[in-house]
A = this chain, B = another copy of it.
């Protein structure tokens, strides 16, 4: 089916959204999970074809992201059931006022409508995104990566059949068939049909959306996250936080890429940091040092790009700063506004840092790795917004809704 036709069907499906009760949505999610399990063999077979076709062109890490197993499919089904168990974000009265003249103004949460998601090769994103869309009463249009298309199609086929078994239109979940760049561009420009576009991927995809989209977008995920170790830091705590934020999972967006160190503690802290990250462990970090840090410890001299790169690797850029103000300025100039942290025992310095740093999540004495829908108690996550409009930080079900005003009078005129 052409991308245009899919978009038209998605838009047409929004006419049914206002009749979706919580019970119906949960029944659909349960049926979707069952259909997914029932189709395990077909999904594995489609995935095997994807893997076979992709192995010549993509890296081992990417191949592992693409690979499905019976256990992974079971986990996807379980993920759908967990979304079903979350509270319904739609239909809440966010505020209600009755004017002196009796006019009642209610603000009520409603679905956004049609949500487009552009993503890459992880097949579980297909079922996660579909589940979150259905639970929040939205129609979704999925545009996955070429390498994973057969897998995504097999998954969506199962999910759509599940919806049909409980009497919902399968057009609530749609997969774009064209995986060329043209379909991504078409989706970005489909403001007649799509209410919200969420690009999940690398910086190139995000920038393409910002440059080309006429559909309102939420930028997600790019994280050049900073940790500032203040002169009043508990250095043992700082070591443990930097270790966790850098080394526990460097491929994710909430991992730390840059450590800023107050000059007064640099001579004591940096050797300990080097010992912690670079010695006596299976995987060690590469340190990229500014001039001052390089006078204290050994490491790679930092190039200009090193303070503007999301390494997603065991690499940490280190800069020695004059004070918290210089740390704040550095972050303002180099951050992607995702997550930043300060380690300090000084309350006033912490307050200054959290007030001045303009990022979606600002931490005091904790690792940046907590920026995550599950960790924040949202129960799930559609991505992490690094922009300021509509949603900031982890986006769960509530962030996939908007609101409308319902005003009731008795012949009121103005």
Interface residues of chain A, those whose CB is within 8 Å of chain B, are: 14-15, 18-19, 97, 99, 103, 105, 110, 112-113, 191, 195-196, 210-211, 214, 216-218, 234, 237, 240-241, 243-245, 248, 329, 332, 350, 354-356, 358-367, 369-371, 375-377, 387-390, 392-393, 402-414
Contact A413 B240 (CB under 8 A): yes
Q: Which residues of B contact A248 (CB under 8 A)?
A: 413-414
**Is B414 within 8 A of A367, CB to CB?**
yes
A362 cross-chain contacts in B, Cβ below 8 A: 404-407
Measured between alpha carbons, how far is A370 from B97 in the docked complex, in Å?
Answer: 14
**How far apart sit A359 and B18, CA to CA, in the bound complex (Å)?**
13
Kindly list chain B residues whose C-beta atoms are within 8 Å of the C-beta of A405. Answer: 360-362, 371, 376, 392-393
Q: A244 contacts which of B15, B350, B404, B414 (Cβ < 8 Å)?
A: B414
| Structural contact, A389 and B210, CB atoms closer than 8 A | no
Task: Tell me the complex Cα distance, A408–B343, Å.
Answer: 10
Contact yes or no, A408 B369, CB < 8 A: no
Residues of B close to A388: CB separation below 8 A: 112-113, 195-196, 216, 402
A369, B414: Cβ atoms closer than 8 Å: yes
A407 touches B113 (CB 8 A): no
B216 with A389: CB separation less than 8 A: yes
A18 lies within 8 A of B414 (CB): no
Q: Which residues of the partner chain B approach A234 to less than 8 Å between Cβ atoms?
A: 411
Q: What are 30 pairs between A and B in contact, CB < 8 Å?
A: A15-B329, A15-B332, A18-B355, A19-B355, A103-B366, A105-B377, A112-B389, A216-B217, A216-B389, A218-B389, A237-B411, A240-B411, A243-B413, A245-B413, A360-B404, A360-B405, A361-B404, A361-B405, A361-B407, A362-B407, A364-B408, A365-B409, A366-B409, A366-B411, A367-B414, A370-B414, A371-B405, A376-B405, A389-B402, A392-B402
State whether A413 and B214 are in contact (beta carbons under 8 Å apart), knowing that A14-B358, A362-B406, A406-B362 are contacts in the complex: no
Is B389 a contact partner of A393 (Cβ separation < 8 A)? no
A99 vs B360: C-alpha distance in the bound complex, in angstroms?
19
> Given the complex of chains A and B, what is the CA–CA distance between A361 and B388 in angstroms?
24
Q: How far is the CA of A367 from the CA of B362 in the complex (A)?
A: 45
With A99-B377, A196-B389 in contact, is A365–B411 under 8 Å at CB? yes
Are A358 and B404 in contact, with the CB atoms below 8 A? yes
Contact in complex: A366, B407 (CB < 8 Å): yes
CB distance from A34 to the nearest CB of B (A): 29
Chain B residues positioned under 8 Å from A402 (CB to CB):
388-389, 392
Report Cα–Cα, A54/B406, bound state, in Å.
42
- A196 CB to nearest chain B CB (Å): 6
Chain B residue numbers with a CB within 8 Å of A241 are 411-413
Among B364, B390, B410, point to the contact of A365 (Cβ < 8 A). Answer: B410
